[in-house]
Structures are given as C-alpha cells and as structure tokens.
Structure 1
C-alpha cells in the first residue's frame, strides 16, 4: 500500500485537496487523523511513565534484573505505525492502492511521520496568507466570534496574528523537510489549483504515481469544483458555510489596509519565494 499525507495551514484548501484525492477510484484520503499530535505525542508520555515504573520496580523489587526491557523508540514506533495503518485502512476497499490522511498541522510533524513511514509522500498546499486570514475570520464568525470580522477589535487582531504565525511556521517547516527529502514533497499553490484545476490535479496524481487519463481527471475536477461541492457559483458567499466563497484574492475587498500591511511585512519574503502576488 502506498502511503501519503496532505497538509497546509488551516483554511488553505486542505479539505478541497482531500476531496480531490478521495474522488480517484484507487485513492483513499481521510481526514483528520491527527496521528502525531493526538496519539503519538500523548502515547509517548504513557510509555515514558511505564518505563519509569518498570525501572522503579526493577530497582526496589528485582535487584536490578528486570523481567521486561524498556519500550524503546523502535518498539514505540511499531505500536504507533500499527495504529495509524489500521486507522488509514478503515475506509479502504479492494480498489484502494494509495491511502492517506489530510491533517493541516502535519506541517509541524513531518520528521515524525517520515520516521514512521520513510517512503510516504507529502503534499503541501500553500495559500496567500492574507486570504488565509480572511477565511479564518469568517470561520471564527461561524463559530460564534463575530468580532473577528471587525477591524480594530481585539479578536480581529488576534486572528490576524495567529494566521501570520501559523503560516510562517508551517511554510518554513515544510521547506526545511523538503530540502532534506526533495523527492517526497509536492507543493502546490491554492491559486494555481483555481486557475488550472485540470493541470494541477493531474500533477497531483502523477506525483503519487496513481493512474490518470483525461476522462478521469475531468470527472474528478467536475466532482470537486466549488459549484459541485457547495451548490453555489464561486463568489456567491455564504458566511454560514464551511465552503464560504470559493475565490482567490478575497482579501482585497475584505481585509482592512492595516492588517494587509502587517501580513505583507511579516510574510513578505516567504510570499515572494512562494510566488504569492503582492
């Protein structure tokens, strides 16, 4: 089975990416497993406590001759790997040959994923941080924090700052991993997926090694278009929907000038490297 993981800053198009993968008959992409942050990291604390307990009993009861060795890194990785594979396989069927999980914050855990699955491929989607900020504001409003959309409010400021921090961290971490493992990482830009969905979708599946043909790609793109998924044309906004608007450059009309300036100043160098237009 071919394993892959998809990631990107929240509100960068990771769910769209997941649905594109899942629309291929030989590819299964679930979301969001959070296998490292919600399983491996907490489980490591359990294992460390277990090892400490063994050591204490060995010292106090068994005269330093333990019956059980400590759980080492290799055994721990085997446990986590088995858990992940079982979870990944829960939705797979007889046709599935490529299986993956979309979790945005895998951007921060690529070395851990690589240790568990050395051959796994990584797909990273990058979106203009100004559009990320606007989408995060709308998400906060939908979650019951309407002040996030109000320029000058504390919640608005915190939302912008959080978007900047996460964007800088995620992009830098994926770049660092890609420098060490260039053949394992495919990066695409949200705006390119909008501008050329057929070409970008074909490139995605070719990177995985999954079979593609024009008819299949056309069907996948049609099934995962904004209109097909949201029931609205791109640009028709619904603030109550997860699929809010489906456009590129929404920040130009929705983001106040001061916030746009702060984001551009903070992220400018990486935006240029990622060919994000000013």
Structure 2
C-alpha cells in the first residue's frame, strides 16, 4: 500500500485538500490522525520509562544481565509504524491503493515521518498568508472570541500574529525537507486549486501515481466544490460554518491596512516565492 501525508499551516485548506484526495476511488485520505504528536511522542516517553525501569531491575536483581534488552529506536519505530498503518487502513477497501492522513502540523515532523515511512509522499498546501489570517479570525470568532474580527483589537492582533508565525514555520519546514527529498513533495497552491480544480486534481493524483482520467477528475472537482460541500455558492458567508465563505482574496475586505502591511512585511520573501501578489 502506498502511504502519503497531507500538511500545511492551519486554515490553509488542508481539509478541503483531504476531501479532494478522499474522493478518488483508489485513494483513502483520513483526517487529523496526529500520529506523531499524540501517539509517537507520548509513546516514546512510556518506552523511555520502561527502559529505565528495566535498567534498574537489571542492576539490582540480575547483576547487570537482564532477560530483556531495552527497546531501541528500530523496535520503537516498528511499533509506531504498525499502529499508523493499522489506523490508515481502517477505512480502506478493495479498491484502495493509496492511504494517507491529513494533519496540518505534520510540517513539524517531516523528518520523523520520513524515518518511519521512507517512501511516503508529502502533499503540502499553501494559501496566501493574508487569507490564512482572515480564516483564522473567522475560526476564532466561531469559537466564541468575538473580537477576532475587530480591526485593532488585541484579540485580532494576537490571532494575526499567530497565523503569521505558523504560516512561516510551515513553509520554511517543508521547503527544507523538499530540498533534500524533492521527489517526495508536491505543493498545492490554494488559489490554483480554487481557480482550476480539474487541472490541479490531475497534477495531485499524477504525483501519487493514481489514475487521472479527465472524467474522473471533473467528477472529483464537482463533488468537492465549495457549493457541493457547503450547500452555498462561494461568497455566501456563514460565520457559524467551518466552510465560512469559499473565496480567494477575502483579506482585501477584512484586513485593515496595518494588519495587511504587517503580514506582507513578515512574509514578503515567501509570498514572492509563492506568487502571492500584493
């Protein structure tokens, strides 16, 4: 079975990309497995405590000659790998040839994922950081933080600062990994997926090696459009919905000049690389 992982800064469109991938009959892409942060890292602490206890007992009971060696990195990786594969395959069926998981924060753990699955492919989605900030504002407002959309409010500035920080961390981490492993990384630009969903789907599934029949790509694009997923046309905003508005460039109406300038100054070099025009 072919394995892949989907990542990106929060509010960059990772969930939409997951749904596009999962719509292919030979691809199974689940979401928010958090296999490293919520399983591997906590499990490593358990194993470390276990090894320490073995060492103490070996010294105190068996004169330094234990019956069990400690769990080394290779054995631990084998345990984690088996767990991840079992979870990834839980929704797979007889047609499935590619299995993956979308967790935005995988951008922080690309080296670990590569050690566990050396052939796994990484799909990274990048969105204009100004739209990421606006989407983050909407997410926080939906979570009950009323001032998230109020220009100049402390809460608004905090949300924007955090969005910028996470965006920069994500794009720089993936760029560094891609330079070492160029054949394993595919980048999707949110704007391009929005403007040309069929063409971007062809590129995406072609990268995986999955069939890219034009009729199938059109069906996937239609099934995963904003209107199909939300029941509303793009631009028809629902502040209470995870699928809030479905447009590109909403920052122009939502960000005040100071916030927009701050983002452009902080992210300028990377915005130029990703062709996000001012």
Matches within 5 A, 1:58-207: 58-207=58-207
- 2:271 aligns with 271
| 2:21 match | 21
Stretches of structure 1 that go unaligned for 5 or more consecutive residues are: none
- Cα deviation code 1:20-51 (max 9, x no counterpart): 01110000000010000000011111111111
Distance 1:275 1:188 in 2: 13
Q: Which residue of 2 aligns with 1:210?
A: 210
Alignment of 1:205-244 (within 5 A): 205-244=205-244
- Normalised TM-score (structure 2): 0.99
User: Is 2:11 aligned against 1:11?
Assistant: yes
> Who is 1:46 aligned against?
46
Residue 61 (structure 1) shift: 1.2
Deviation at 1:277, TM superposition (A): 1.2
Task: Please give the root-mean-square deviation of Cα atoms over the aligned residues, in Å.
Answer: 0.6
How far did 1:153 drift?
A: 1.5
Q: Secondary structure at the match of 2:16?
A: helix
Q: For residues 52 and 198 of structure 2, what CA distance do their matches in structure 1 show?
A: 54
SS in 2 for 1:5: strand
Equivalent residue, structure 2, for 1:251: 251
Q: CA deviation at 1:154?
A: 1.4
Q: Counterparts of 2:126 and 2:75 in 1: how far apart (Å)?
A: 35
Q: What whole-Å deviation, never above 9, does each CA across 1:33-91 have from its counterpart, x for those lacking one? A: 00000000111111111111111111111111011101000000000000000000110
1:131 is paired with a residue of what secondary structure?
Answer: helix
Find the aligned partners of 1:90 and 1:185 in 2 and give their Cα distance. Answer: 25
Shift of 1:274: 1.3
Q: Summarize deviations over 1:190-221 as a string: whole Å, max 9, x none.
A: 00111111100110000000011111001000
* 3-state SS of 2:187 partner: strand
Residue of structure 2 equivalent to 1:35? 35
Q: Per-residue displacement from partner, 1:222-267 (whole Å, max 9, x unpaired)?
A: 0000010011111111101000000000000001111111111000
* Whole-angstrom CA distance in 1 between matches of 2:174 and 2:212: 27
* Moved beyond 6 Å, runs of 4+: none
User: Aligned partners of 1:24, 1:169: CA distance in 2, in Å?
Assistant: 30
User: What is the CA-CA distance between 1:103 and the residue it aligns to?
Assistant: 0.5
Q: Could you state the TM-score of these two structures normalised by the residue count of structure 1?
A: 0.99
**Secondary structure in structure 1 of the residue aligned to 2:248:** coil
What is the alpha-carbon distance in structure 1 between the residues aligned to residue 154 and residue 86 of structure 2? 43
Structure 2: gaps (5+ residues): none
